[in-house]
């Protein structure tokens, strides 16, 4: 019965959303990918909303990460929709459904102010998710950040995951634009036989938008963006090298909307990311890198490499936990992270069974066992204080990262409570 109701609700919200989109015809920018969707959405919104040539446009992004089969139509009906908090997640309550119905009827019955540019973040947790979105969303711009070993638990093969993500690209309007990372191994396959124009971004090779001379400092990330024969410097108050991709995606979209290149680069200096996404917090005794929002092998390795650049002469400590929903790539993904950890950290603290795989791989790759310690699931703050904090030293720089399901954010909370004083 519950499954029948969920399916009815999914199609009901889709029906309302599709009616609204047909009436108001907003220009849609749709973003998907294994990592970086939310940060890319935030950066795109920033450069467009700040653009001098778009000040007369009503531009809206979806709030939070409401990127599901329920969150997307709800966000189309009401772009300010946030849902009902249940624990650490946002859910759709019956009261929300009634509110959304009322909002939809109001939009359809009369002419209301509605976004002219709508920025949507699309999740693809299981087969059919993107295909479902494409039945009622027709993006003018499609952005695919990357394809990693995420959600493979729900896909038979990596190829089926690639095909699912590709549906956003093939579903983009023929006169629109798709933006992809040339550094992703599947990018050339994905753009094959496209009708829409495709542009590529890269930090490794020549591309339509390339980031070079990437560096990290106490003020954030700095790099040069090369576009055609023009090169401009970009500085953003974020601290992971992976955010260079975020900027490149935003600049490509800004170009499409004729935002002056220099203006878009300047706007990125104001980028602010949601909490838990490589959030750097300096305390008196140490520095915390809170990257606990989520984790997969690609983002974990990027975080470790950024930690190396940030740490410099300081002792680098990583507290790493399980990466969930990897399916057949579970063991390999954790082992790969362990190899990188052995080369990038001075002390490794692992949490959970996946964390233990990381720790063992790090030891086999050369990290001394005496510079590691492993724990099972740790959620209790008293246990965190007694088990983990004694391994820290003054002036450490500490990265905390793992899937949301293992609640490493609790460890980050303890740091913020104990070291902020």
| DSSP per-residue letters across 127-162 | TTHHHHHTTT---SEEEE----S-SGGGSSSHHHHH
Q: Which ranges of 312-397 would DSSP assign to H, the alpha helix?
A: 330-344, 352-364, 381-387
**Distance between CA atoms of 14 and 1, rounded to whole angstroms?**
20
1 pLDDT above the threshold of 70: no
Q: What is the pTM of this model?
A: 0.92
Please give the domain boundaries of the chain with CATH numbers for all domains.
Answer: 2-270 (3.40.1190.10), 279-419 (3.90.190.20)
Q: What is the dihedral of CA 403, 407, 410, 412, to 10 degrees?
A: -10
pLDDT above 80 for 87? no
Alpha carbon distance 333, 318 (integer Å): 17
pLDDT tens digits along 324-371: 888 888 999 999 999 999 999 999 999 999 999 999 999 999 999 999
SS3 of residue 335 by DSSP? helix
**What's the pLDDT score for residue 57?**
96
For residue 387, count CB atoms less than 10 angstroms from its CB and return exposed for 0-12, middle for 13-18, buried for 19 or more: middle
Q: What is the pLDDT of residue 68?
A: 86
pLDDT at 82: 84
Q: Is 222 exposed, middle or buried (0-12, 13-18, 19+ CB in 10 A)?
A: middle
Are the beta carbons of 165 and 143 closer than 8 angstroms? Answer: no
Phi and psi, residue 197, nearest 5°: -70, 140
């Amino acid at each position: 019965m519950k499954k029948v109701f969920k399916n009815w609700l999914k199609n009901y919200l889709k029906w309302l959303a599709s009616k609204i989109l047909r009436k108001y015809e907003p220009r849609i920018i749709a973003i998907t990918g294994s990592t970086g969707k939310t940060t890319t959405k935030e950066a795109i919104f920033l450069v467009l909303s700040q653009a001098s040539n778009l000040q007369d446009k009503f531009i809206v992004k979806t709030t939070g990460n409401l990127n599901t089969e329920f969150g997307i139509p709800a966000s189309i009906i009401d772009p300010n929709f946030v849902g009902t908090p249940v624990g650490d997640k946002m859910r759709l309550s019956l009261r929300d459904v009634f509110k959304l119905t009322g909002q939809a009827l109001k939009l359809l019955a009369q002419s209301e102010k509605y976004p002219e540019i709508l920025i949507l973040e699309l999740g693809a947790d299981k087969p059919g998710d993107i295909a479902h979105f494409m039945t009622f969303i027709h993006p003018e711009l499609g952005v695919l950040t990357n394809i990693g070993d995420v959600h493979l638990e729900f896909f038979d093969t990596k190829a089926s995951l690639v095909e699912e993500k590709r549906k956003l690209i093939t579903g983009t309007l023929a006169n629109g634009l798709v933006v992809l990372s040339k550094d992703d191994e599947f990018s050339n396959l994905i753009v094959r036989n496209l009708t829409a124009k495709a542009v590529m971004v890269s930090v490794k090779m020549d591309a339509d938008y390339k980031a070079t001379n990437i560096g990290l400092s106490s003020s954030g990330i700095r790099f040069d963006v090369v576009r055609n024969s023009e090169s401009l410097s970009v500085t953003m108050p974020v601290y992971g090298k992976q955010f260079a991709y975020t900027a490149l995606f935003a600049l490509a979209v800004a170009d499409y909307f004729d935002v002056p290149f220099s203006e878009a680069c300047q706007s990125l200096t104001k980028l602010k990311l949601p909490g838990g996404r490589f959030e750097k917090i300096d305390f008196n005794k140490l520095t915390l890198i809170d990257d606990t929002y989520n984790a997969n092998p690609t983002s974990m390795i990027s975080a470790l490499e950024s930690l190396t650049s940030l740490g410099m002469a300081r002792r680098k400590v990583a507290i790493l936990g399980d990466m969930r929903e990897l399916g057949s790539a579970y063991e390999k993904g954790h082992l790969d992270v362990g190899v990188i950890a052995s080369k990038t950290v001075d002390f490794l603290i692992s949490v959970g069974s996946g964390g233990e795989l990381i720790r063992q791989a790090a030891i086999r790759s050369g990290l001394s066992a005496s510079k590691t310690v492993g724990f099972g699931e740790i959620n209790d703050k008293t246990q965190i204080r007694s088990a983990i904090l004694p391994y820290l030293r003054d002036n450490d720089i500490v990265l905390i990262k793992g899937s949301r399901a293992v609640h490493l954010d609790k460890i980050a909370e303890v740091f913020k409570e104990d070291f902020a004083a």
